[in-house]
Amino acid sequence: MPAKPSPSVATALDWGNLGPLRLRARVVAEGVWAGAHRSARRGAGIEFGGHREYSPGDDLRWLDRRSLLRHERLLVRQFETETDRALRLVVDATASMGYRGERAPGAKLAWAAVVAAALARVAITTGDPVGLSFIGGGPATRPVPVSGGRESCERILAALERSTPEGDAVAEEAMVDRVVGSIARTARRGSIVVVLSDLLDLPQGSLEAVATLAGRGRVLVVVQVLDPDEVDFPFDGPVRLRGAEGTAVVETDAGARDGYLARLAELTGHWDRELVGRGARLLRARTDEPPTATLRAIVDAARHAGC
């Protein structure tokens, strides 16, 4: 794992000029053409998923008329794509996501929160339910169950506003497994899972765990969120690096740049190869770049993968 140039990371989230979240999220969402969010999950799918009781308003094309003779009640044929059209947002809120370098407008977690909130707004506007989960985070960092409508969007915005960067995923390996396991059990065919994380300081096996979310007809998009300091290692002369998670401290100089960048490229390339091999996508994002571009890339990646 590459060392990260990290000063002390405060527990309170450094929003910088990325706040207020509600205003920023609205601006970012409006910067993406809503029509691009063409849901590949609407309508009937190709895999039969059983029967359920007929309810007024159900599409009459999927009535199982024979069921009236067999069971003396109307049943509707159900397909897997009808069972879940949800967007599942997973935001890394561990301590390393609290880092903010001098060139960044805010902490990595704040930047990820803007993208997540904008995604939620786009999904809710197009009628898709949304849920939010966190990897790590402080005591006030709470998940939001999947639901639709304006109230769901408000709950997600409130949860992101309360989030704080805290926790060491390496020391507590169950952090990732809890979130991934819950989504793997509940997210069905047609759902979209978007993970926003720096992918640094995650426990061994995290890549394999996250990659499983691309199975069973789900769409997975992972966004690696990095501060510009982490992308190009701009430091000159002697520098003291302290891991935001764990107790590692490294004293080095600018000569370590090539080794650091090579290790970062190796880590990112490994995630990219494994995810692409599962039919998922890895996107790279810098916190000094406009969130709108990343939002548009996520929407496009999800749409193409779903199709």
Query: What are the mean pLDDT values of the chain's consecutive 10-residue runs (307 residues total)?
Result: 45 92 94 54 48 68 72 67 75 96 97 98 90 96 92 95 94 91 91 96 93 93 97 82 65 80 96 96 97 94 72
Neighbours of 51 (CB within 10 A): 15
**C-alpha to C-alpha distance for 242 and 140, rounded to whole angstroms:** 26
The reported pLDDT for the residue numbered 56 is: 67
Neighbours of 178 (CB within 10 A): 13
The reported pLDDT for the residue numbered 40 is: 41
User: How many residues does the structure list for the chain?
Assistant: 307
Model pTM score: 0.81
The reported pLDDT for the residue numbered 102 is: 95
Partners of 196 in the β-ladder: 91, 223
The reported pLDDT for the residue numbered 70 is: 73
- Ordered strands of the 130-135 beta sheet: 144-147, 130-135, 87-92, 192-197, 219-226, 281-286
- Per the structure block, which two tokens stand in for 18? 């990325």
**C-alpha to C-alpha distance for 26 and 49, rounded to whole angstroms:** 37
- CATH code 3.40.50.410 region(s) in the chain: 16-39+84-306
Query: Residues 146, 110, 107, 286: what is their CA dihedral angle, to the nearest 10 degrees?
Result: 80
Q: Which fold has domain 16-39+84-306?
A: Rossmann fold (3.40.50)
Residue 23: burial class (beta carbons within 10 Å; 0-12, 13-18, 19+)? exposed
**C-alpha to C-alpha distance for 213 and 218, rounded to whole angstroms:** 7
The reported pLDDT for the residue numbered 244 is: 66
Beta strands 130-135 and 87-92 are: parallel
